[in-house]
Amino acid sequence: MRVAAHTDQTVHEILQSMVKKGWRITEQRRTLATLFAHAEGYLSPRDVYDHMTKKYPGMSFDTVYRNLRLLSEMGVLEQFYLNDGLKFKARCQSHHHHHLICLTCEKTYTFEFCPMPSVPELPASFDVVSHRFEIFGYCSDCKQSRKQEKEADKEDE
């Protein structure tokens, strides 16, 4: 029940952001908002296109990509460059936080500490409007798998 309430809230926030920008709420945009609200991980433009064209076969990849870019620019989606390219995820609108992201499985861990107050000597003339801080590495499962792979590679040499 809690997950459903959270996803419903995320859909609502995404749609409200669209309305504030003057976008007409179409069934396709509602489907796009629902897709991101229910996604547990990151979605590539290809993932989104594949999902959307199942229901809307006439939709072009350019239309999907343009909507992803615009949603990212308005702050609804976060975009990340991971090992296999550009990916998107719904931005958490409820509070400010940052992420640890596994480069292998893309599992994301939230952490509440914000390093911005510790950034030394920002130019006084620069007005910071927003920021993001992600740490990329390997979760414990993937770190163990990488270690085993490296050990197997050494044995093969």
- The β-bridge partners of 48 are none
Binding-site positions for Zn(2+)? 102, 105, 139, 142
Tokens at residue 123, please? 């130019």
Binding-site positions for Fe cation? 96, 131
Tokens at residue 141, please? 């499962």
d(CA 21, CA 19): 5
d(CA 138, CA 103): 6
CB 54 within 8 A of CB 61: no
Rg of the chain over Cα atoms, rounded to whole angstroms, equals: 19
Residue with tokens 């076969």: 57
d(CA 11, CA 38): 9
Binding-site positions? 96, 102, 105, 131, 139, 142
